Amino acid sequence: MKHSQPPFNYWLNRLLASDPGRKRLHQAGKATISLMSSVFTVLIILNVANGPELTPAIMGGIAGMLGILVVNDETTELKKGTTLLLSVSAIGGVTFGSLLAWNVVFVSSLMIAIIFSAFYFSKFGSRYFSLGMIAFLTVYFASFLQLPPQQFLWFYLAILIGISFAYLYNFIIFKGTVQLLKRSMYSFHRQANLTFQLLIDMLEDEEIDENRSKRLTANVKILRDYAGHVSTDLNTHDIKELWPGLSSSQVKLYVFDTAMFVATLADSLAQLKRDEALEPNGLRTLLVHVIASLQKADVLAVNYEERNLTEAQLATDELRSKINDLFKQQGEPEGRLYLLRRIESIAHHVTHAALSIQRIKNEESPDRLDKDTKEEQPLTEEEEKIKGLEPTTKKAFQALVAGSISIVVGYVISPIQPYWVVLTSFIVLLGTQSVGRIYLKGLQRSIGTIIGAIIGFFLAKTVSGHSEIEIFLLFAVVFFAFYLLTVSYMMMSLFITMLIAFMYDLLLGGISFELLGARVIDTIAGAGIALLVSSFLFPTKTRDKVYETFTDYLDELKNYLTPYIRSFTETTDVKALTDQAFTLDEKLQIILDEAEPVMKHPGTRRHSELPEWVTIFTAMNYYADHLVASSYQKNIGFPKEVQDVFPVLEEKLGHNLTTVKQLLNGEAASKELFSLKRERELIERGAPLEHQHYIDLVHHVYYIWRINQSLLLLGDKLGAIEIQDGTKLNKA
């Protein structure tokens, strides 16, 4: 992590670290380049062959752009097949959209059938939704522009050119996921160094700077997000090409530990500083030395300076020795000593993982590489088809009803162009399940459309007649729309509406505020219809969807905690649980996404408890991450009285997780939860603190206990009863 940063370069480094792996830039750039290449190629051919003026080029551009954006299959081979099939779907859309344009009923029926099929058949794979999306959009444009049949061949050619460029850019020119992984790690290192510098500044400050603390908190969250992005990008083939000898699990573990180390430092240092626990014994200087050493170490660089990591290891060992001395000096350690232990243990993992990575990189043993490659072969998992059936079917029927209503409403609002309402309801339903998410998406789209219509109208009016400038602005807004898609749906809607303004001006030879205003009304109407239908037809209430994500999280947490607790008495590689830790992070993010409508409107009485519950799950996830991040357990043979506690601990914690899940689902349950206080006391009594591994044991059991305390808090809100210590689990 060597991308060093003086304070005045904060915002420069923040910019360089943003967009991990430059994924958004990569995707938006490919879509824009494919659009431009398709449009200009078709225009050149039209000009040479005296073909139609502009519309085939627009259709080719749409095909080239969608060929990049709508293909989301799981494997490269499936993506290639879907990309080629898009041309067939687009040609069919142009043909039938144009031939049926004379009859509103026929075109409307075709659109609704496509929407229904796209949602319904998506249960068999994302390919079917991609084909439905491009078919719907080509039908829309073909019917709107009323393309003459005698020009069909030009449009077919334009579509084939557009899809060819999409294939070229997606699978030939920009195929390298290796470079994406390399850029992701580069962004991760930059963000880590940026956060390290803020931590050093915080340590060196005499007082706690609240502004810096807020900035630090924001940067820690960003780093955790980057760790998730990097984990997603990791695959054996790319790692083998970038760093021969390494396995994906080793790199993933290093990324996880680094992110957790930074999060732990940010969380613990502020508390230690407030308690004035850093001044004695030179702890402040030692911590600065550890952080600065890791900041200089560029673990995955080609030109690696070994002394940087060696320095970090020596500093970490010195910190461990100092903390051990402090533990020995106190009969009953204070809480701040456990905070220091937490920092030291994760710092040890980061340096140990980094040194292991460098050692393997330097060896680059072909035998080891073959071994890792075999170990990394993923096991095929059965797809949960039954679980995925119901949502797609419900969404298909919602789209069917919403599309039918939208056609009628669209025809009443604008008899000439009645299909924009359908398009909006289709897009608002896309990717949303709960009523709250549909409401939020519809609101964001409506606001973005209103602002985009105003800006787009005045810009289009200003540059009207200057085709070159309009085309440049058209490409620019396309790029920004898709670059900001995952950042802000409202901003994406704003730029899409600006795009419509420029296209109307180019295609219709002028634009009026009434025309663009009609699109705003259509958008609001489409969003309202999607919300109305989803509220009454197979509705998924926001509360129910959030509860569903809660229970999914608890299932994953149980699968995570069970092998972890067994690792104290069995030979288990705790670090192998890193993948599950990332999965827990992903499930927590799903909880946050689904609860977003409630979190933004916490005053709603019937949802008033959800923000607090989300906070409890966030806390559980924090403690669960620390279990793996701070563990370096060894089979050192705990006393029998300690080993006997762990099966009971596992059983009671599993009971608590199952009970809370049943209560969330409204099922009949025992409503009895165990406090685990006695089990914690038995382990702490049997773990003498003069031995470091026993200190670590107490430290890790503390996190398990805190997770259980969160479960007790949830159970109390659900009407559960806490059982007193010593009570045995009733297996009846």
Contacts of 648 (CB under 8 A, 6+ apart): 679, 729
- Residue 94 pLDDT grade (very low, low, confident, very high; cuts 50, 70, 90): very high
Query: What separation in angstroms does the CA of 670 have from each of 487, 574, 674, 715, 722?
Result: 44, 32, 11, 11, 11
- Residue 176 pLDDT grade (very low, low, confident, very high; cuts 50, 70, 90): low
CB 273 within 8 A of CB 379: no
- Alpha carbon 624 to chain centroid distance? 19
> Of 99 and 505, which is predicted with more confidence?
99
Residue 431's region, left for phi above 0, alpha for psi from -120 to 50, else beta, is left
CA distance 520 to 449: 6
SS3 assignment for 241-309: HHCCCCCHHHHHHHHHHHHHHHHHHHHHHHHHHHCCCCCHHHHHHHHHHHHHHHHHCCCCCCCCCHHHH
Which tens digits make up the pLDDT trace of 413-457?
877 667 778 878 888 887 777 777 888 888 888 888 888 888 888
Query: What separation in angstroms does the CA of 481 have from each of 69, 420, 500?
Result: 12, 19, 12
| Mean pLDDT computed over 545-568 | 86
CB 266 within 8 A of CB 194: no
Please give the pLDDT value at position 45.
92
| Mean pLDDT computed over 72-87 | 86
Model confidence at 5: pLDDT above 50? no
What whole-number percentage of the chain has pLDDT above 90?
6
- Count of CB atoms situated within 10 Å of the CB of 667: 9
**Looking at this protein, which amino acid is placed at residue 498?**
M
The closest of 384, 363, 500, 435 to 62, measured between CA atoms, is 500
Query: What separation in angstroms does the CA of 214 have from each of 94, 258, 599?
Result: 53, 20, 20
| Mean pLDDT computed over 382-407 | 70
- Residue 153 pLDDT grade (very low, low, confident, very high; cuts 50, 70, 90): very high
Domain layout of the chain by residue ranges = 1-175, 180-375, 397-540, 558-723
Which residues lie across from 674 on neighbouring strands? Answer: 723
Model confidence at 728: pLDDT above 60? no
- Which class does domain 180-375 fall in? mainly alpha
Please give the pLDDT value at position 319.
76
Please give the pLDDT value at position 89.
93
- Residue 375 pLDDT grade (very low, low, confident, very high; cuts 50, 70, 90): very low
CB 530 within 8 A of CB 402: yes
CB 185 within 8 A of CB 2: no
Please give the pLDDT value at position 562.
86
Helical H segments across 509-541, by residue range:
513-536
What whole-number percentage of the chain has pLDDT above 70?
75
Q: Check the CA dihedral 342-343-347-348 and report its sign.
A: negative
| Mean pLDDT computed over 294-314 | 67
Please give the pLDDT value at position 277.
66
- Residue 389 pLDDT grade (very low, low, confident, very high; cuts 50, 70, 90): very low
Mean pLDDT, the chain, integer: 76
CA distance 107 to 112: 9
Please give the pLDDT value at position 573.
66
Model confidence at 93: pLDDT above 70? yes
CA distance 178 to 240: 10
- Residue 376 pLDDT grade (very low, low, confident, very high; cuts 50, 70, 90): very low
DSSP string, 13-39: HHHHHSSGGGHHHHHHHHHHHHHHHHH
- Count of CB atoms situated within 10 Å of the CB of 306: 11
The closest of 70, 152, 151, 80 to 118, measured between CA atoms, is 70
Q: Could you tell me the two tokens for 268?
A: 């613990």
Model confidence at 157: pLDDT above 90? yes
DSSP string, 627-665: HHHT---------HHHHTHHHHHHHHHHHHHHHHHHHHT
CA distance 310 to 78: 46
Q: Could you tell me the two tokens for 278?
A: 């850093």
Which tens digits make up the pLDDT trace of 630-647?
555 554 566 777 778 888
CA distance 519 to 454: 12
Helical H segments across 484-512, by residue range:
489-508
Model confidence at 187: pLDDT above 70? yes
Model confidence at 582: pLDDT above 60? yes
Model pTM above 0.75: no
| Mean pLDDT computed over 176-202 | 76
- Stated length of the chain: 732
Model confidence at 663: pLDDT above 60? yes
Please give the pLDDT value at position 727.
53
Please give the pLDDT value at position 601.
62
Please give the pLDDT value at position 96.
92
| Mean pLDDT computed over 462-476 | 81
> Of 234 and 581, which is predicted with more confidence?
581
Model confidence at 559: pLDDT above 50? yes
Model confidence at 171: pLDDT above 70? yes
Three-state secondary-structure class, residue 234: coil
CB 136 within 8 A of CB 111: yes
Which tens digits make up the pLDDT trace of 38-66?
989 998 998 888 888 778 888 898 899 88
| Mean pLDDT computed over 529-556 | 84
Characterize 471-504 residue by residue with b for buried, 16 or more Cβ atoms within 10 angstroms of its Cβ, and e for exposed.
bebbbebbbbbbbbbeeebbbbbbbbbbbbbbbb
Please give the pLDDT value at position 165.
93
Q: Check the CA dihedral 254-258-260-261 and report its sign.
A: positive
φ and ψ of 621, to 5 deg: -65, -35
